[in-house]
Amino acid sequence: MPRNNPLVLAIAGFGTVGSGLLKVIKENREAILARTGREIVVKSVLVRDLSKPRAADLPEGTILTDDPKVLVNDPEVDVLVELIGGIAAAKTLIADAIKAGKHIVTANKALLAEDGHDLFALAEEHNVHLTYEASVCGAIPILDSLKQNLAGNQVQSLVGILNGTANYILSEMTTKQLDFDTALKAAQELGFAEADPTLDIEGFDAAHKLCLLTRLAFGVEYPFKDLPVVGVSKIHPKDIEFAREFGYRVKLLGQVRNVDGKIEAGVFPMLVHHTLLIARVGGAYNAVRLEGNACGPIFMHGQGAGDLATASAVMGDILTIARGANPNNTGYVKQVPPLADILAPEDATSKYYFRVMVKDVPGVLRDLAGSLAEEDISIAQAIQKDGTETTAAVVFLTHEARAEAVHKAVEGMKEKGLVLEEPVFYRIL
């Protein structure tokens, strides 16, 4: 592509992000020209329903179509911007566009996390860009940072608030003492949560993003189906309150780290000490903290979703292509990385928070401590909170313990008849 020619786009999907992208292209035209020397032209937009009213007007001359072939077969189109979501249809569209020699910009984390191998290999075969900055953390430029500026590091650990919906819900539960259902309803009314919020509140959206971050940070594939995932739908206001008494906040975190050459990763609700920056990230914002052997700790914070925030990330990828950069789709020479040497989830170690509802009788704390001691788990702090006249909540924090030992200790408490309901336990960052 001659650098002085316009860069011609075809956009698949004209929802929130697609409308935001058109707005950014129009409003930032002069800045784009100054940075690339090229106009950005949107030639066609793919939609499912041609009769549906649109939130934004198309640029003059832009074609609105419901036929994917119009985008794929047009020789003037340089870049396909995929914003339709889903897996099967999006994969077919992207693959056809790559075979037609078009560069790809996508925000589709589910597709790339669950089924991206073939597309990365195909992009390498055709020497085209397959870029996806908008798929993780919205406007935060974490993916390009891992591929470029931090590429000289050995990343040791990465942890992040990767889903704004879950973070908004937990923030509301923390600051307003709401229960989960009330906080979820508020998130839906504000447009932070979908009518079916399962992907967000059960941790799957964050898990998709963590798979992509793991690829870029460690150069290995951690299969999505093998990733441990726990969501926030069962978090009780009591645990948020008790965590605060110990100086912690409850956050849904995606975490990956190198443990003696093995990769440990997962998405979990975790207690984070209030002195850490990531504990202070409120509302629908995202944040990522990583540590490299050369750069040390780095913290990024910003809007994780929304029309303009996501369009900003999409635009960054488009400008990379407009400048004529060579494809650097995975950050590594191998476009399809090797499988990770995975640390078995039961061998993962962490400090833990426990809340156990018990009969308020003499010796109960001793017996609970005994169940932990049987699994070599030691208590760091403990408090007993009043429940009813005959019950109490025993809350304690532990030193480092193996996940398998924690589960065995819980089963031991239940078998001995020490608990009145299912014990609650969360990791501590």
What CATH number has the domain bearing residue 396?
A: 3.30.70.260
pLDDT per residue as tens digits for the range 191-219:
888 889 999 999 999 999 999 999 999 99
Q: End-to-end CA distance of the chain: give it in Å, rounded.
A: 48
pLDDT for residue 387 is more than 70: no
Q: Has residue 218 been placed in a domain? A: yes
Q: Do 182 and 234 sit in the same domain of this protein?
A: yes
pLDDT for residue 388 is more than 90: no
CB of 212 closer than 8 Å to CB of 115:
no
Torsion sign (Cα): 318, 323, 329, 330: negative
Last residue of a domain, one of 269, 303, 337: 303
Q: Do 120 and 146 sit in the same domain of this protein?
A: no
DSSP codes, 320-354: HHHTTPPP-SSSSS-SSPPBP-BPPGGG-EEEEEE
> What pLDDT is stored for residue 361 in this prediction?
84
Look up the CATH number of the domain holding residue 118. Answer: 3.40.50.720
Q: Do 239 and 98 sit in the same domain of this protein?
A: no
Cα separation, 58 vs 88, in Å, equals 27
Mean pLDDT, the chain, integer: 93
Segments forming the whole domain that contains residue 412: 346-428
Neighbours of 177 (CB within 10 A): 12
For range 168-186, the mean pLDDT: 95
For range 246-250, the mean pLDDT: 96
pLDDT per residue as tens digits for the range 106-160:
999 999 999 998 999 999 999 999 999 999 999 999 999 999 999 999 999 999 9
The pTM assigned to this predicted structure is 0.93
Q: Has residue 330 been placed in a domain? A: no
Q: Do 22 and 56 sit in the same domain of this protein?
A: yes
CB of 331 closer than 8 Å to CB of 151:
yes
Give residue 384's pLDDT band: very low, low, confident or very high (50, 70, 90).
confident
Annotated binding site for NADP(+): 12-19
Q: Has residue 424 been placed in a domain? A: yes
Q: Do 16 and 108 sit in the same domain of this protein?
A: yes
Q: Tell me the three state secondary structure of residue 42.
A: strand
Cα separation, 253 vs 270, in Å, equals 7
Give residue 396's pLDDT band: very low, low, confident or very high (50, 70, 90).
very high
Annotated binding site: 12-19, 109, 194
Give residue 235's pLDDT band: very low, low, confident or very high (50, 70, 90).
very high
Q: Has residue 328 been placed in a domain? A: no
CB of 82 closer than 8 Å to CB of 106:
yes
- Rg of the Cα trace of the chain? 24
Q: How is residue 211 annotated by DSSP?
A: H
Show the tokens assigned to 350.
């962490």
Q: Do 265 and 385 sit in the same domain of this protein?
A: no
> What pLDDT is stored for residue 362 in this prediction?
83
For range 374-401, the mean pLDDT: 88
CB of 387 closer than 8 Å to CB of 357:
yes
Annotated binding site for NADPH: 109
Q: Do 248 and 382 sit in the same domain of this protein?
A: no
Q: Do 354 and 401 sit in the same domain of this protein?
A: yes
Q: Has residue 270 been placed in a domain? A: yes
Residues 6+ apart with CB under 8 A from 117: 221, 336
pLDDT per residue as tens digits for the range 22-68:
999 999 999 999 999 999 999 999 999 888 887 678 888 899 999 99
Last residue of a domain, one of 269, 287, 322: 322
Q: Has residue 282 been placed in a domain? A: yes
> What pLDDT is stored for residue 54 in this prediction?
77
Report the candidate in 146, 429, 145 with the shortest Cα–Cα distance to residue 281.
429
Q: Tell me the three state secondary structure of residue 155.
A: strand
pLDDT for residue 2 is more than 80: no
Q: How many domains is the chain built from?
A: 3
Q: Catalytic residue among 43, 91, 209, 251, which?
A: 209
Annotation says 416 is catalytic? no
> What pLDDT is stored for residue 337 in this prediction?
87
